[in-house]
Amino acid sequence: MYQDLAPIPIPHRPWTLNGISKDMMVSHYENNYGGAVRTLNAVRKELAALEGGAPGYRVRALKREELSALNSVALHELYFGNLGGDGRVTEPVRAMLEEHFGSHAAWRREFVAAGQSLAGGSGWALLTYARRQKALWIQTATDHTQAAVDATPVLALDMYEHAYHMDFGANAGAYVDAFMRNVDWTAVAERIAAVRADRPLPPEDPSDKTLPSISVEELAAQLAKGEPVQLVDARPRHYISRASDIMEGAVWRDPERLDEWVGEIRAEEPVAVYCAYGFHVGCGVTKALRERGLDARYVRGGLSAWYAAGGARTPRLPGA
């Protein structure tokens, strides 16, 4: 049975990166990663609807697009998931880099050179683990269809211009340096440990699993069916004052003043709470509503995931 893939929430806090702007990261997530998710869903829908006897060229074209979108989704999830750290290599990874590349400095030289070699074009620089050879190596790929067989990327550097042009213009070298300052080596170490033990890579989803939640795909399906749901936009006041859009049908509620508006929430109807990216604000409001006996869930990935999945941008009217 065909099922749409939902985008994962942004795995790191995009406003905390050192020298990489939140706006560029969020645009990258919503437009480029979101575009790959939407393409993958659309292509798979077309593949599922193909009649027997469809011409070979049509099937080949769709399968090529499916591979490209599938790899783009996976590589972007690895890329977003290996950012948000302080760039300091953890000891177990340092030892592995020394073992496979001679020294940490030699590894860094080769990886940075691989990234910079793609400047002005597009592609990925990847630290990859070859499972059969049990060895780390650095791969470059100039598009999304160059997956290495039997190899798992554990550190992904996006060298498409959309990943850096907004902040760095043509200065790809400065972007690579900024990327290196933000690598989350703990996440990379967990991936290496998983792939060496023949386990799947850890999921990048940072959502709070202790609270009931809803994906943007599930929410869209509920709204499309006309099921009753109260949509609460719980972005902080300083954030909403600059925001020009909102989810259609949502009402903004100040997360700091929950006691003032909670009485207006109808107890008999479920509540979906979203914030900008699905981190602590939306979760905090959801928790507080549940403590008051309301059937509240938070929207995984927040408004950004809604846009990444192709959700409409509705202009926010004054006072909404």
Buried b (16+ CB within 10 A) or exposed e, 242-255: eeeebbeebebbeb
Query: CB of 27: closest distance to Fe ion in angstroms?
Result: 10
Question: Minimum Å distance from CB 30 to Fe ion?
Answer: 11
- Least distance to Fe ion from the beta carbon of 191, Å? 19
Tell me how far apart the alpha carbons of residues 95 and 69 are, in angstroms, rounded to a whole number. 34
Instruction: Kindly state the smallest distance separating residue 152's Cβ from Fe ion, in Å.
Output: 19
Distance CA 83, CA 195 (A): 19
The beta strand positions in the chain, using DSSP E, are: 124-130, 135-141, 151-158, 213-214, 230-233, 245-246, 251-252, 271-274, 296-299, 314-315
Q: CA–CA distance from 51 to each of 54, 57, 58, 65, 197 (Å)?
A: 6, 14, 11, 18, 41
Binding-site ranges for Fe ion (CB under 5 A) = 32, 158, 160, 163
Q: Smaller CB distance to Fe ion: residue 189 or 308?
A: 308
Between 159 and 189, name the residue whose CB sits nearer to Fe ion: 159
Measured from the CB atom, the residue of 160 and 175 that comes closer to Fe ion is 160
- Residue closer to Fe ion (CB basis): 4 or 77: 77
CB of 33 to Fe ion, least distance (A): 6
* Terminal Cα distance for the chain, rounded: 39
Q: CB–CB of 293/305 below 8 Å?
A: no
By beta-carbon proximity to Fe ion, the closer residue of 180 and 223 is 180
**Least CB distance from residue 130 to Fe ion, whole Å?**
24
Q: In angstroms, rounded to a whole number, what is the distance separating the alpha carbons of residues 128 and 136?
A: 6
Per-residue DSSP letter, 261: H
Which residue number, 116 or 314, has a Cβ lying nearer to Fe ion? 116
